[in-house]
Amino acid sequence: MPHFTRLIFFLFCLMVLVESKEPRRRKRTGQLETPKPSHLYKNLDVTKVGKGKPPPLLRVEDHDFSMRPAFGGPAIPVGMDVQVESLDSISEVDMDFTMTLYLRHYWKDERLAFPSASNKSMTFDGRLVKKIWVPDVFFVHSKRSFTHDTTTDNIMLRVFPDGHVLYSMRITVTAMCNMDFSHFPLDTQTCSLELESYAYTDEDLMLYWKNGDESLKTDEKISLSQFLIQKFHTTSRLAFYSSTGWYNRLYINFTLRRHIFFFLLQTYFPATLMVMLSWVSFWIDRRAVPARVSLGITTVLTTSTIITGVNASMPRVSYVKAVDIYLWVSFVFVFLSVLEYAAVNYLTTVQERKERELREKFPCMCGMPHSRTMMLDGSCSESEANSLAGYPRSHILTEEERQDKIVAHLVLNSRSSSSGKKGLLKGQMGLRIFQNTHAIDKYSRLIFPASFIFFNLIYWSVFS
């Protein structure tokens, strides 16, 4: 057993000796050493192999960026320029607009200056913005706004060696626009997007347009379905708050003129057609009560539906709009046509009642032509009745004598003219048609169209 133990120990020492001589032999023969497995390097951090990191160009940690540049000195000038990407929507009901734009700030912060032999700028994303001072510009009278973040935050920061900074972001903002609808839909609206510093007064921060009116750029493809964009321009002024002081405020102003063609098709033409349709009742027989009444009610209800539809898409303002004037005048014309037939129907009923009473009083006139019995309705004057009976005007008869003479005279005339009845048949038919048309209808055929045309001339000359 001791001999076996010694043998094992001898073999182990021999193996150790052979392993110690093997690398030297491989080096002499030029053979490559087999690399060690990768799991042997798992605890090795290659970022710490170097002797040390190079010093950063922007020494952000060496300064206090919670205060503005040149704190305690004069106001820092911050230039602004804007590029409008799109004007997305205009809402009359909410009285606001939505705009997407590129907002750029320019200022100088000597704390961000860095040495550069080539005088090249450095560009950063939004992560550096949280570590340095940037102007606190906000949108006055804005309802909603956000910075685009697809695929990353749309923020760019560019720093120049002398400390000048360009800070750009892409924003969509919905802001209030005070609209005047007194001339709607023939109106022109002017809206403004206002920019202002939230915390710094004009003693600490001076906002200004970097290149005047050239600071505002717009895309030539910007268009709206209901409006024509007439002009973009910039202005600036001071805004005062009683509790905090004076602030610089910048304005992006744009003027919009509404397209009228849509409202001509949807509002003005239908209302005009309803008014013209109501005039058809003036040419219908006054005894066709169902036809004239149904036509009048239909036009009234249709006009009221048009008025309701227009007001449903408009804010509830306390003043009269131009479209309201046109629609309500059209409604009045339609309603008056209904009242006109009510008056015609009433007067026709009264006239027929008088004729019926005369027929009952003089039954002998049943064989006379209807055109001649119409003369007995009491509408003729006293002198005409006397002359018709063959008496001079100076001879005054009593009521009973005059009516008897008129009847006798008409009977004689009817017998003497029996030979010419065929020639007068057409004239009697025309007279019957004339009698079925009331005098109010004849006047309405001229007065209603002339009045409506006169109203249109005044309306379009005032509001166009």
Amino acid identity at 400: E
Instruction: Establish how many alpha carbons lie within 13 A of residue 179's alpha carbon, considering only the half-sphere containing its beta carbon.
Output: 28
Say if CB 90 and CB 78 are below 8 A apart.
Answer: no
Reported as a single tens digit per residue, the pLDDT across 28-59 is: 444 444 444 544 444 544 444 445 556 666 77
Whether 424 has a pLDDT exceeding 60, the answer reads no
As to burial, measured by CB atoms within 10 angstroms (0-12 exposed, 13-18 middle, 19+ buried), residue 452 is middle
Residue 103: HSE in the Cβ half-sphere, 13 Å Cα cutoff: 26
Q: In this structure, what DSSP letter does residue 375 have?
A: G
- For position 53, what pLDDT does the model report? 58
- Rounded to an integer, the average pLDDT of 131-137 is 93
- At 251, the amino acid letter reads Y
* Closest to 444 measured CA to CA, from 314, 320, 338, 326: 338
Please give the backbone phi and psi of residue 277, each rounded to the nearest 5 degrees, phi first.
-65, -35
The pLDDT value recorded for residue 373 is: 44
Tell me whether strands 205-209 and 245-258 are parallel, antiparallel or unpaired: unpaired
| pLDDT tens digits along 400-423 | 544 444 444 444 444 444 444 444
Q: Are 116 and 161 in contact (CB under 8 A)?
A: yes
Which of the residue ranges 42-46, 140-144, 149-153, 182-186 would you say has the lowest mean pLDDT? 42-46
Mean pLDDT of all residues in 168-183: 94
Checking if the pLDDT of 173 tops 90, the result is yes
Using CA atoms, how far apart are residues 106 and 160, in angstroms rounded to an integer?
Answer: 11
* Res 309 pLDDT > 50: yes
Amino acid identity, position 269: F
Choose among 189, 183, 191, 256: nearest CA to 224.
Answer: 256
Q: Residue 67: pLDDT band by 50, 70, 90 thresholds? A: confident
**Using an 8 Å Cβ cutoff, are 267 and 328 in contact?**
no
Quote the longest CA-to-CA distance of the chain.
185
Rounded Cα gap, residues 25 and 382, in angstroms? 158
**Which tokens is 431 given?**
């007279």
Burial of 8 (0-12, 13-18, 19+ CB in 10 A): exposed
Top pLDDT among 271 and 397 is at 271
User: What dihedral do alpha carbons 430, 432, 436, 437 form, nearest 10°?
Assistant: 30
What average pLDDT does the segment 274-298 reach? Answer: 91
Position 253 scores a pLDDT of: 95
Residue 61, C-beta contacts closer than 8 angstroms, at least 6 positions apart? none
Q: What is the pLDDT of residue 430?
A: 45
pLDDT for residue 219? 85
Higher pLDDT, 427 or 149: 149
Instruction: State the DSSP code for 190.
Output: E
Which tops the pLDDT comparison, 427 or 109? 109
> Whose CA is closest to 78, among 66, 70, 86, 87?
70
The tokens for 347 are 């007067």
Pairing of strands 155-159, 122-124: antiparallel
| CA 79 – CA 250 distance, rounded (Å) | 11
- With a CB cutoff of 8 Å and minimum separation 6, the contacts of 25 are none
Q: What would the two tokens of residue 326 be?
A: 């046109």
Greater confidence (182 vs 41) lies with 182
pLDDT value at residue 249: 96
pLDDT given for residue 32 in this prediction: 44
Q: pLDDT tens-digit profile of 68-88?
A: 888 888 999 999 999 999 998
Taking residue 116's Cβ as centre, other Cβ atoms within 10 Å add up to: 13
Pairing between β-strand 188-197 and β-strand 137-140 as defined by DSSP bridges: antiparallel
Q: Of 144-148, 194-198, 439-443, where does mean pLDDT reach its minimum? A: 439-443
